[in-house]
Structure 1
């Protein structure tokens, strides 16, 4: 697979390069410029929304699929991505770990049974993460179908901890997902990139990618 990488010198960029070993990195975008050694089939972007316009332009230029893990996207950003998806496959998620996306499915199905419980979301990330609450916390909140309070912590080097707590006067249910390494997100990105090679144009979630792997 020939792939392009936006933010190749960042924390996630380095992790992606490591996990994508054996595939050809033919396009890099980082703080020093754009470096191209061939035409990418897929472009991966886990950087920040300030460079999203460049990423979309490159994907359109090369007809490349796109794996986008950038957080804090606006409604306008989503509209632009969906326009791009009319030409190429786009996989978008705020979290590319299998566990979080399965947790979303669980919450979507079973949260209605806990209607009488109070509920809140707690998320912890490294001190360098700029957006709060995290995109993942917002995804989990949306999966419950309820407008839940979200508590955000930014400390140390935590890759990502997310908990949702349901409680009434007699019992507590707490569900926690803990990412112990950024590698899990890079592995998810590789799976999504392979998905793009197998699919036509369209806007896809990582949940759809997970279900595809089970076929």
Structure 2
């Protein structure tokens, strides 16, 4: 599958590194906000000997329609900003290119746009695209459904410079019907990302913890989503749509 990557910050570089080392996929190009390294090669920048083209283009100097014509892709993976979807979204959807967005903080207008685009192509959105944190979210909602009256607190830890409450923590709180007051934020050093859900039962406590050791976890999650979207019809998808069948199969196996 041919991939176009939007965004080449810290997360984008880590994602590109994962894509280039997975032979199931080919990184055709990267579209970034800055002009630095324009027309250079991602594989040269990362020092990898792979066949992928991985050419770097700047959003300022690139016409997205021309890029999609001259360097067609099957999937666009977005690790940039909430504004980028307005540049590539419609041209990609018109060509049936699948879209995977890992933008943490979309506003209602961007979410509406994603859903509109999903009428023409396959669109996947996850504020945190790591597989582990979505596994945590799925399990947490199951536990909450079993014990709806349990006390729940969410703790999110990130690097010191990260502003605002984690989008993933907000998603967890929303899924568990919690108020933002139940989210406890920690900012220290270079923590990549850690989320913990504490279930306070009488006489016992259950803790679900996910910690990102490296930003490459974002790349693994994006490719996990890409591999499961390969044969999906147009529509709007999230991680629950991908993970639910696994849990159902396991439940059927236990009960049979």
TM range (shorter): 0.7 to 0.9
Count, aligned residues: 213
Structure-1 residue corresponding to 2:9: 10
Contact 1:5 1:45 in 2 (8 A): yes
The structure whose residues are more often strand, as a share, is 1
Contact 2:94 2:120 in 1 (8 A): no
User: Does residue 1:143 correspond to 2:209, yes or no?
Assistant: no
Secondary structure of 2:178's counterpart equals coil
Aligned 8 A contact 1:39 1:62 in 2? no
Q: Partner of 2:166 in structure 1?
A: 134
Distance 1:166-1:2 versus aligned 2 partners, 3 A rule: same
- Mapping 1:106-185, distance limit 5 Å: 106-130=139-163, 132-147=164-179, 149-167=182-200, 170-185=203-218
Q: Indicate if the aligned counterparts of 1:42 and 1:196 stay in contact, CA closer than 8 A.
A: no
CA deviation after TM superposition for structure 1 residue 212, in Å: 6.2
Q: Aligned residue for 2:18?
A: 19
From 225, 238, 242, the counterpart of 1:205: 238
SS at match of 2:141: helix
Aligned residue in 2 for 1:56: 89
The runs of 5 or more residues in structure 2 that have no matched partner are 36-57, 250-256
The structure that has the greater radius of gyration is: 2
Aligned to 1:72, the other structure's residue is in SS state: coil
TM-score by length of 2: 0.74
**Cα deviation 1:84-103 (Å, max 9, x = unaligned):** 00011011111222222222
1:155 positional shift = 2.2
Query: Could you state the TM-score of these two structures normalised by the residue count of structure 1?
Result: 0.87
- Distance in 1 between residues matched to 2:146 and 2:229, nearest whole Å: 36
Cα distance in structure 2, aligned partners of 1:212 and 1:172: 28
Counterpart of 1:96? 129
Equivalent of 1:105, from 112, 131, 138?
A: 138
